[in-house]
Amino acid sequence: MSLSDGTRARAEAWAAQDPDPETRSELLRLLETAVADGDAAEAAAADIEARFDGRLQFGTAGLRGELGAGSTRMNRVLVAQAAAGFASFLLSRSSAPAADGSTSDAGRAPSIVIGYDGRKNSDVFARDTAEIMAAAGVSATLLPRALPTPVLAFAVRHLDVSAGVMVTASHNPPRDNGYKVYLGDDDHGSQIVSPVDGEIASFIDTAAEGSVLDLPRSDDYAIAGDDLVEDYVRLTAAVAGAAASGSTQPRVVYTAMHGVGWEVARRVFATAGFTEPIPVAEQVAPDPAFPTVAFPNPEEPGALDLSFATATRVEADLIIANDPDADRLAVAIPLGDDEDDDAEPWRRLSGNEIGAILGWRAAERISAEGGSGTLAASIVSSPALRAVAAAFDLPYADTLTGFKWVSRVDGLAFGYEEALGYLVDPAKVRDKDGISAAVDILALASELGSSGSSLEQHLRAFDERFGAFASSQVSLRVADLAEIPRITSALRAEPPASIGGHAVDRLDDFAEGFEQFPAGDILRFWLVGDDAHDGSRVIVRPSGTEPKLKVYIDAWSTSGDPAARRRAADAVVAELDAGVRELLR
């Protein structure tokens, strides 16, 4: 293909304003190659067209995409435009009356705290943001070094600022980076939600009409001191209570997955009184290349292989893994003697298993203190937490997917989502926090060890008290995003009468909104139970971050002894999993 005149003009204008010599040179080389002859010219032209085919969209996850030159990539031009637009939004918000007519925030000068992780250009994007915010009249504070996302989320509340930005792509591929936005004041430090994302995007579009070289910059911003980090450490360590004192502590292996979790997690564990975990040496230091993992997500196959090897070598009792920005937590335990394993003697707990036992722990804590609080989970997470809430006579809330919704539940005491995100101390932070969740797991494991039990036995005790809950997930990756609504429309038009041999009882269609939820492309199938199991469900929805259709499968049983319940729930999930794969085929 040949490069269109319009795309060439956009690319040349972009290169002219790009302050980054690497991405500017990258784009100029492509432009030069595109005017030559042969296959290289066609490939370069196609590459440029893809880079300028629209803009990387600002939404409820902020910005996230592959690093590189162009309006559909993450780079200094795009970040400068985002910073300028967000600054304008904050300034307008501080001077305009609220929607209800109140002016409680009017007149308050807007302020922001900015954090960054160890990915390529995270520090550069953060400094660009601080300089542009400061010049625009927003009081800006930059975190002192690469730190976990939970520290930034904590800082928004702790410093009582108007907003926060965290430069991170969390557990995305190594070539990605992102720009996550939080709001203070009435949003209490949670991530942005609709319709605010659209309002910010509109300001960003306006900022993008000019050259970023014309944006004023200032170095009149503050650098936060380590006392901020120390406050996070102290308050997070308090989650453990007295669990570390006089207990039988597990021998723990920890991996930071080449991210920024180790420095802060290490300090938190020590402050809580836990023995220092044994780090996976190859993954302990931040490295934007993520050289030992194909995909830096502890949920992905192979991501924990080095952790398994280290834990086996040192005869550990427990593996704790944070993702690269430490807002997620993975846990692995030794396989039981009766479990078969052909590779490693370790089993990674699912996000639903961790959420269930941490939710149980939170309910016990509320009960012991005579307090109150709501347990919450996203609608695609296991129904197990609802069962815990019912047993303790506590309120429970389902939310839309995404932790920004979980964190906003009124009276929240504990919340989680199945994708390894947990919030155990919402008074401190309003986002998932893999470090405080790790502390809670360590405290639980220590207490269980002191009583002669283990996390594996505790999971079986959960089955006995609340019922056995099993889950699975099927993902269908697509090359064309239009394929996803085609599939869901077909399922909506002709719903299956059965899935995996289990009759469909009813369908909840969220297309026009359902109960308290707004409209969304979500289908929830409820299946008929039998004498062996109480029920099951299948939820179909598009991924919010990847070109995937995701299907969540859950089944549960309270019939028979714990072992029978587990077998029944697992069997139904296996049948539904096979049925879903056949249905999507």
Which residue, of 349, 364, 399, is where some domain finishes?
A: 349
Q: What is the pLDDT of residue 337?
A: 58
Residues 484 and 552 in one domain: yes
Q: What is the pLDDT of residue 104?
A: 46
Residues 135 and 35 in one domain: no
Residues 423 and 486 in one domain: no
What secondary structure does DSSP assign to 505-547, as a single string?
EEEEE-TT-BTTBPP-S-EEEEE---SS-SEEEEEEEE-SSSS
Residue type, 488: T
Residues 458 and 485 in one domain: no
Q: What is the pLDDT of residue 106?
A: 53
Residues 454 and 507 in one domain: no
Cα distances from 330 to residues 18, 257, 303, 351, 378, in angstroms, run 39, 11, 11, 7, 18
Residues 202 and 254 in one domain: no
Domain-embedded: residue 62 = no
| Domain of residue 573, CATH code | 3.30.310.50
Domain-embedded: residue 65 = no
Which residue, of 299, 314, 349, is where some domain finishes?
A: 349
The tally of domains found in the chain comes to: 5
Instruction: Give the domain range for residue 208.
Output: 74-223
Domain-embedded: residue 58 = no
Domain-embedded: residue 419 = yes
Which residue, of 349, 377, 407, is where some domain finishes?
A: 349
| Domain of residue 381, CATH code | 3.40.120.10
Residues 387 and 407 in one domain: yes
Domain-embedded: residue 67 = no
Domain-embedded: residue 278 = yes
CB-based contacts of 16, cutoff 8 Å, min separation 6: 211
Residues annotated catalytic, as ranges: 170
Q: Are 431 and 424 in contact, with CB atoms under 8 Å apart?
A: no
Residues 139 and 12 in one domain: no
Q: What is the pLDDT of residue 339?
A: 53
Residues 210 and 83 in one domain: yes
Residues 314 and 412 in one domain: no
- Consecutive sets of 10 residues in the chain, 585 residues long: mean pLDDT of each? 90 97 97 89 95 91 94 98 98 72 62 98 98 98 98 98 97 95 96 95 97 98 98 98 83 98 98 97 97 94 96 97 98 76 79 98 96 96 98 97 95 97 97 98 96 96 98 91 92 95 96 90 94 92 84 96 96 97 91
State residue 115 phi and psi, 5-degree precision: -125, 170
Q: What is the pLDDT of residue 344?
A: 65
Residues 40 and 92 in one domain: no
Q: What is the pLDDT of residue 174?
A: 95
Cα separation, 476 vs 543, in Å, equals 10
| Interior/surface letters 62-84, b for 16+ CB within 10 angstroms, e for the rest | bbbbbbbbbbbbbbbbbbbbbbb
Domain-embedded: residue 175 = yes
Q: Are 517 and 400 in contact, with CB atoms under 8 Å apart?
A: yes
CA-nearest of 419, 527, 548 to 475 is 548
Domain-embedded: residue 66 = no
Residues 194 and 312 in one domain: no
Q: What is the pTM (predicted TM-score) of this model?
A: 0.94
